[in-house]
Amino acid sequence: MRLSSALVSGCRNLCRQVADGLLPALCVGCSVRPGPDLCAQCRRHLTPLLHPCPRCGRPQREPLNNPRSCRACRGHGWLGISEVIVGWNYEGLLQGLITSAKASADRPTMLTLATLMPAIEAQASIVPVPPAPGRRHGPHLATVLARHLAHHHGLPLVEALRCRHLAAEQHRLNAGDRRRNVEDLFVVRRPVGGTIVLVDDLLTSGATASAAALALRRQDADRVILAVLARTPRSDDPKSGWRL
Ligand SMILES: [Zn+2]
Ligand SMILES: [Zn+2]
């Protein structure tokens, strides 16, 4: 009996592998048009973050020249982070893809999301914001994004941080409580010098990334740049001219 179920399982896996080899991968956005990356129609549903402030990531109606920071943050940005690089608004199709990739630890969707990461220009070590302890097995989105960036730019990937404990859910807290919630959340297990590009999937309050950056700065890091896939929109963001 055990042998026959193993045979059935083996045949099923073999059939799946044959099908994967024979059939073209589909777009993870619509599951209809060819993939594996997002098809042109699905890409049109993404909203790029236009002219983000390089200190805090807030979108602007026009590029910032001098000073290169917005009136909202006045150059202060996030503690420990010298620059923010962010690609997209966290809404619509992209929000759905990020949510489902994280909920089901879906590697094909994560790999597609990795192709949407903004480019970086610095010579730096790439460090992902690490997973919380106790999360279930499977790929971790920020780590997949960081690995892609490192490979794409020929830069070293260093999994330098460890998360000490599970923080309370940030979106339920106000700004002050968010900072306290993540204080001492990260420990540096491999000190890294020079410039670091810290990689995460989402920028919301900035408190988690700031705590990770401060932990790196307390060790050997000279400068931390935050690179994120998407930013959670705020009610006071400029509204016009976002869609491609
Ligand atoms: Zn599509
Ligand atoms: Zn700003």
What is the 82 CA–ligand 1 centroid distance (Å)?
36
Chain mean pLDDT for the chain: 86
| 3-state secondary structure labels for all residues of the chain | CHHHHHHHHHHHHHHHHHHHHHCCCECCCCCCCECCCCCHHHHCCCCECCCCCCCCCCCCCCCCCCCCCCCCCCCCCCCCCCEEEEEEECCHHHHHHHHHHHHHCCHHHHHHHHCCCCCCCCCCEEEECCCCCCCCCCCCHHHHHHHHHHHHHCCCECCCEEECCCCCCHHHCCHHHHHHHHCCCEEECCCCCEEEEEEEEEECCCHHHHHHHHHHHHCCEEEEEEEEEEECCCCCCCCCCCCC
Higher-confidence residue of 66 and 131: namely 131
Residue 135: pLDDT over 70: yes
- The Å distance, Cα 36 to ligand 1 centre, comes to 9
Spatial CA neighbour of 159 closest among 195, 125, 210, 209: 125
> Which residue has better confidence, 127 or 167?
127
Considering only CA atoms, which of 69, 117, 131 is closest in space to residue 228? 117
Angle at 97 between CA 130 and CA 124, to 5 degrees: 40
Query: How many whole angstroms from 233 Cα to the centroid of ligand 2?
Result: 14
Closest C-alpha among 130, 98, 136 to residue 208: 130
What is the structure's pLDDT at 229? 98
Kindly identify the ligand whose nearest atom is closest to the C-alpha of 26.
1
pLDDT average, residue stretch 103-107: 91
Reported as a single tens digit per residue, the pLDDT across 146-165 is: 999 999 999 999 999 999 87
Q: What is the arithmetic mean of pLDDT over 110-133?
A: 94
Name the more confident of 217 and 172.
Answer: 217
Q: Which residues contact 109 (CB under 8 A, 6 or more apart)?
A: 28, 97, 100, 101
| Residue type for position 188 | V
pLDDT tens by residue, 11-48: 554 544 545 555 668 999 999 999 888 999 999 999 99
> Which pTM does this prediction carry?
0.85
Q: What is the pLDDT of residue 182?
A: 75
Q: Which ligand is nearest to the CA of 31?
A: 1
Tell me which of 52-56, 126-130, 198-202 is least confident.
Answer: 52-56
pLDDT of residue 22: 54
Distance CA 231, CA 50 (A): 11
CA of 106 to the centre of ligand 1 (A): 17
CA 203 – ligand 2 centroid, Å: 13
* d(C-alpha 213, C-alpha 108), whole Å: 29
Q: Which ligand is nearest to the CA of 112?
A: 1
